[in-house]
Structure 1
């Protein structure tokens, strides 16, 4: 049994690192929760998990969230898509995140007035043309990042 314990600990550590290694949206301080109606600075953390570079990151803004501004990130070009009301619905950053690197994209937004769960959908494009959809199409492998609004 003593031999099995270190193996199980190593397996658990590897599973935790894999589960945590994906595109996530958190508050500036790293929380997965915020207050209803609050203005918040969010950070989108995107690691490159393949042997090729990430070349594009597209974030779909959850309904009810009003994005107001972005932090400049040298080396990236940002484009936005808006709806008929002029609200930002998608943001795309084009640039390069090399293998074994990550980038953090900061933006300010106002949360919805109602409590609930925000589901942030992120589409990560690699230089080989493949796209990883962090959007819950496969929640076990590519979950969307969630923020609890209370």
Structure 2
């Protein structure tokens, strides 16, 4: 008997990808046959990096994980999951307020497609405070971010802010 591989979608803006995101990707990689890191193109946000640049960054950070794929999408995550034949959404949780928002989103997604499951992974404690917004704010004011993002991503962020000045 052959079973279909379990494909998980890890959606997000990843602007920029952090060590917390990478922790979830690596742990998800151990749990699922394939993890698709799906970069959301959100027209209502002003991102630091283009979608193409974020895909390139994530691919460079996950090059050692053969069952991780990086892609992008616009629209509803559930519709993208259907398109990719994935029945699992992977989400990271840092704090209680994340849980409330993520649970509401999981329930909403289930109303859109009953076959979708959301799997929550608690972020490693050393990353529980970390968000892309925090990284950008620290970098914007000249603070060190090498302990929050991979080295190549830190360089991209520093370059971005140096070019704006």
Question: Taking structure 1 as the reference length, what is the TM-score of the superposition?
Answer: 0.26
Q: Which has the higher helix share?
A: 2
Q: Which has the higher strand share?
A: 1
Q: Which has the larger radius of gyration?
A: 1
